[in-house]
Structure 1
């Protein structure tokens, strides 16, 4: 299975999608089509942590003052389901591997797999 979760309005996501060959990928734009509980559970199973999927650079994270709160995995899970901006993006799933975020290291690892 090959899937990518991204945000169409994000310049970084668009740049990475151009950079990476996404032929054969199922593409899901997370603002128009929110992630489901099943999809989040699948990402959790591959990553081992909801916190790894959580975008701590989101504007809402700062606006809600979440950085000064101790969040549990259950909290991260609920925030991810409630608000699409909390998903660190893009998220690529290639077979049984997951690539989360836009760091150079993550994108290089993804390119090496493809």
Structure 2
């Protein structure tokens, strides 16, 4: 499977998608208009190792809900992401059995390298 979970209005996601230059065989899912299903999130967590690894601490709601001061369980991370799309660290790029989460230079470079190696 080749898929990118992103926000179409996010300039960072747009830039990364442009850098990746995904082919027509990629599925692009705008998580604002096409919400993530529990099955999709479970698959991402299985590939990444945890729901916490998919969770964005940069989301505005993170501060609003005072989550910084709380001990959040894996189940809570899962429910937070399912209930509020902004909690998903983005973009999430899946290439086969490889997952690349977030927009750090290292993650994007690894995704580009993987994409060009297939």
TM-score (norm 2): 0.95
* Superposition CA RMSD, Å: 0.6
Give the Cα separation in 1 of the matches to 2:112 and 2:26: 14
User: What SS does structure 2 have at the residue aligned with 1:34?
Assistant: coil
Moved runs in structure 1, 4+ residues, more than 4 A? none
Gapped regions of structure 2 (runs ≥ 5) = none
Task: Tell me the number of residue pairs that the alignment of Structure 1 and Structure 2 aligns.
Answer: 114
User: What SS does structure 2 have at the residue aligned with 1:14?
Assistant: helix
TM-score (norm 1): 0.98
Partner of 1:107: 108
Post-superposition offset of 1:15: 0.7
Partner of 2:14: 14
Post-superposition offset of 1:21: 1.6
Partner of 2:75: 74
Give the Cα separation in 1 of the matches to 2:50 and 2:112: 23
